[in-house]
Chain A
């Protein structure tokens, strides 16, 4: 049996990364990588020479439930070896549903995917980033690909685009409305510099100090969970951590963040980490390249002053 790797993501950027992951897997196993699209060919695709468009379900009803249904139906005409799905919130649902339906294993949030004999191996982070686990699943299987771990594949010319009618489907879940989040606030993934605020900031108004520094450095503002979840000072999209956004900027400047494991899990791959905290024992200093034990209300304006003066 030849090796076939399917790649799917509902998100354009992530689809490019999953395509790259599929290509790298198929390449090592001398097999085919196939980009799967539901409803219609996306404008940005295909990113792989082989594409499979699943028709029959309208693109507007493109929920994880219907996508999983379409993928499962498509497998009845030929089971792929590996189904890779981008590890977005919807993607994780698609993958888990497909695995449950097909009775296969599913590896979550994998990076460094490889093949070994009849098994897929993926690396994933566990225990709030304290541990890297090597996880193995027998082929055929499903895996979600951690966002930001594979370089995006570009658009390519298709060698073969096949279409398959998977038939209609009436999902249980109906989408009533989609509210876009503030575009300004969802750029943490691409930000080169992130200044991130934590409980050390005493009042919501004081976030201005952090925002002002981010602005003079040309960076974005992030925060730890309490500020977005408990206090609601910043929208949830700013929350960096295990259950929030995972970022890896050139510079991560943690301001008044104590550094709980759940927070570190979201920023530990940053190139350089600096931290300012009044508590010299704050765990953030163990996860930082540069640390200042001090009052953010004094240190931040001082940094901004120097940055402004020298530029």
Chain B
């Protein structure tokens, strides 16, 4: 299954005229994914193989370097091209795409809010894949309501002591660097905690519905001491930082879901053309054709919404609503497409990992990084608050 399609080429040339290098970069990412990642996808899904080695190779290729500045070992490429790279990765294997996307969200936080020293110390290592990063915001009793934060950071001489726990954390236990949110008396604040910190411990890898290649567990802090310089930005500003980080991340999660949908779609049309019923291929039937048309239209729409949000982000304007729209639409579209894929495959869809895993993978993303409900609140609030 080729990952880089004519529509990707078109979108790149329409949006970034004269940037043939972006096409070459994405073609090369696609080639790597087809050779090294796609063949592993069902193995990752069935826990028959671990993603670590493949993730390391993928990071070395430079996917995560794409949107970062060159002085921090990035490639200085547009965010939209990075989002498309995550889409391709999502089509190859959603779990690994989730893992590297969250990894990069942590680097993005350090880039945006960290000190010069923090940026130099962490961003190059993370984006070039020498270190794996994680982003720890959600707690067992606070998800969308991130202000109700139970993890506390108390002043302790020059540094801080963190206590509490974070739930559903991607890359937990595997990461070298954690971008952590904990409340000080001044409010939610963000910290960089090294994976080797003895005050860190991790829960069991959760038996997830999908995204099984990525490791997800609780991260616990018990008298976890960190030096003063691990505080990112200003104390009490953590919630603002989290919102900004999630905005960028939502575009990427939307793209990831477009990729999942694309993979399910390709398999569906191939099957529909080969499967015979009542003397002809089922692709000849109008009810199947309706599905094919709706799947394809949804994928194209989702891809455009994500790229649009990325373009607004690149322009420097506020893109919170566009990112939310891209994520709500693309994640829900992806679930519908993957559901249709199972329907097209019939009994084989329900019983074949390689078909139903796409639905199981996509299912996470109407929940993670902002539920559809919360994102709709955000979109509506913005529109209703607009002055007439």
Contact = CB atoms under 8 A, between A and B. Distances in A.
B352 interface: yes
Contacts of A215: none
A138 B52 CA distance: 58
B1 to A, nearest CB: 11
B251 to A, nearest CB: 32
Interface residues of B, number: 4
B46 to A, nearest CB: 10
Going nearest first, the 5 A-B pairs with the smallest beta carbon separation are: A281-B354, A279-B42, A280-B352, A279-B354, A258-B39
Nearest to B39: A258
Nearest to B352: A280
The SS class assigned to the A binding surface is loop
B17 to A, nearest CB: 36
Contacts of B39: 258
Interface residues of A, number: 4
Interface string B27-62: 000000000000100100000000000000000000
Nearest to B267: A281
5 contacts: A258-B39, A279-B42, A279-B354, A280-B352, A281-B354
Nearest to A279: B42
B10 to A, nearest CB: 28
Contacts of A281: 354
Contacts of B354: 279, 281
Contacts of A280: 352
A258 B352 CA distance: 18
Nearest to A281: B354
Interface string A255-290: 000100000000000000000000111000000000
Interface string B341-376: 000000000001010000000000000000000000
A279 B42 CA distance: 9
A285 to B, nearest CB: 13
Interface in B317-352: 352
Q: Which of A258, A280, A281 has the most CB of B within 10 A?
A: A281
Contacts of A279: 42, 354
A281 B348 CA distance: 12
A302 B221 CA distance: 51
Interface in B52-77: none
A279 B354 CA distance: 9
A258 B42 CA distance: 14
B297 to A, nearest CB: 27
Nearest to A199: B39
B266 to A, nearest CB: 12
A133 to B, nearest CB: 25
Contacts of B352: 280
Interface in A1-33: none
A94 to B, nearest CB: 36
A280 B42 CA distance: 12
A278 to B, nearest CB: 9
A70 to B, nearest CB: 45
Contacts of A258: 39
A129 B352 CA distance: 31
A258 B39 CA distance: 10
A258 B40 CA distance: 13
A87 B342 CA distance: 50
A32 to B, nearest CB: 52
A279 B352 CA distance: 10
A281 B354 CA distance: 9
A38 B42 CA distance: 56
A280 B351 CA distance: 12
B262 to A, nearest CB: 17
